Structure 1
Amino acid sequence: MRYLLFLLCCLLAGALQAAPANKAYLSLIIDDLGQSPERDSRTLALPGPVTLAIMPDTPHATDFARQAHKAGKTVILHMPMDPATGPYAWHPGIPIEELARRLNAALAKVPYAAGINNHMGSRMTSQPEPMAWLMGELQRRHLFFVDSRTSAATVAAAKAQDIGLAHVSRDVFLDDVRTPEAITAQLQQGIALARKQGSAVLIGHPYPQTLEVLERELPRLKSQGIEWIPIRQMIAQRGNQAMPAHGSHGRYR
């Protein structure tokens, strides 16, 4: 009997040792690209699978999209939405036909886009009808969607989830406060969230302070037990489910 108990304990100990540790995944998107070759190049030089969100109404959008694609980075369209302005921006009340024309024009300016996320959009992403149309159009084009969640009233991710469109939602903004100390604290918040819920999606901007922090901290992620993954892998990892801050039981509120 003692031998059997000893053997059982050994087997349990071996099983515990063989069990993989809980993974903590992180993905990073940098918005507002295409405005400055200097900032774009510095962002492109960041290590690892940074997703590059390029604005269509910027002077270097097309050239930088091609450069980023050639470098093996994931390019997405950073689509202007109300209260953003400009020739591509979506606003409530614009007919679907005009929204479609603006989307086509924006995608033409950002070649190799694998998906889109919203630039601003606190008012536009709360509109159910155009968001439902957009998700269906992205499904038709085999593009994914990232909800930047610039407003708690967004229905964008919920509409994507309704039709099974590949999508993911942002968890942490890095640089609402543009100081290295605040950005570092936000990055650490993202890391803590990844450990708590298994994954975190971070969005930042090509501000000098943000790039300074990322250049210093990104190479340290692995030693902190964080697995930095491309946005497509994050979408697969989450399986189109809402995180606790975004909904309940995997469904968006």
Structure 2
Amino acid sequence: MRYLLLTLFCLLAGAAHAAPAKAYMSIIIDDLGQSSERDSRTLALPGPVTLAIMPDTPHATDFARQAHKAGSTVILHMPMDPATGPYAWHPELTLTELASRLDAALAKVPYAAGINNHMGSRMTAQREPMAWLMAELQRRHLFFVDSRTSAATVAAAKAQALDLAHVSRDVFLDDVRTRDAIQAQLQQGVELARRQGSAVLIGHPYPETLDVLEREMPRLKSQGIELIGLQQMIAERGNQAMPAHGKHGRYSNR
């Protein structure tokens, strides 16, 4: 009897420390709207991909409409300091001007279901503007993706404080633009998804990135990875911070 109880205890302890039963992955491609060829190739990737379109690009509006018609998730890739241009957010701007630039950017990217930051290492560290942005997105029924371009970001923490639908990026695919490096980053995403149950990856429409994704996305299922859309990922994570971004589900930078 004691042996049976010990065996049962060991089995239960092992199950408690086992990897999650499912491993989910979502992929976001940033900087879209600049090239019709790269936009179309991204749209044709073999699986659900979220398309982050920059407002100050020549094909932003047309591609947003095309992607929406194809059933893809479109988000606004919002320029933030140190990004420049007519839509970019900077710390010295008033909330009125920030609101005006957000309105104009959303008008350029129709059907946006949410936004993520383009660059933004300075801007996403600003508490008041980030708190305002999350309240505004809540009002508009849009979600937020923290690209985490800086360890000092408070954006996701401000979203969490309002219970705004959001996720944070886990892995950048293509900081190094070689196929081998991108392949290694994708594998890091696979291993992270297996370990913590999910991984959010961000890449760009570089030829090298698209080459790797075209080849590897169909193989993810055989590695135990389920590719899901970003809205489903938000639901799976339930607005909780991943271990790399905080403790006990709460973001560190509050």
TM-score bracket for this pair, using the shorter chain length: over 0.9
| Alignment correspondent of 1:41 | 40
Deviations 1:34-59 (A, max 9, x none): 00000000000001110000000000
Matched, 1:80 2:91: no
What's the counterpart of residue 177 of structure 2?
178
- Post-superposition Cα deviations, 1:163-193, rounded to whole Å, max 9, x if no partner, equal 0000000000000000000000000000000
Post-superposition CA distance 1:216-251 (Å, at most 9, x none): 000001111101100000000000000000000100
Q: In the alignment, what sits opposite 1:55?
A: 54
Q: Which amino acid counterpart does residue 247 of structure 2 have in structure 1?
A: S
C-alpha RMSD of the superposition: 1.6
Equivalent in the alignment of 1:212? 211
CA distance in 1, matches of 2:98, 2:46: 36
SS in 2 for 1:117: strand
Unaligned runs of 5+ in 1: none
Matches within 5 A, 1:137-156: 137-156=136-155
Hey, what does 1:249 align to over in structure 2? 248
Counterpart of 1:113? 112
- Between the aligned partners of 1:222 and 1:195, the Cα distance in structure 2 is 12
Residue matched to 1:128: 127
Cα offsets for 1:137-166 (capped at 9, x unmatched)? 000000000000000000000000000000
**Residue type at the aligned position of 2:35:** S
Matches of 1:158 and 1:144, distance apart in 2:
14
For 1:63, give the aligned amino acid: D
1:42 maps to a residue whose letter is: R
Matched letter for residue 212 of structure 2 = V
How far apart in 1 are the matches of 2:245 and 2:46?
A: 29
C-alpha distance in 1 between matches for 2:48 and 2:37? 20
Q: Secondary structure at the match of 1:236?
A: helix
- 4+ residue segments displaced more than 2 Å: none
Identity of aligned residues (%): 84
Distance 1:151 1:63 in 2: 31
Letter in 1 for 2:71: G
Count matched residues: 239
**Secondary structure of 1:232's partner?**
helix
TM-score w.r.t. the length of structure 2 is 0.92
1:193 corresponds in structure 2 to: 192
Map of 2:28 onto structure 1:
29
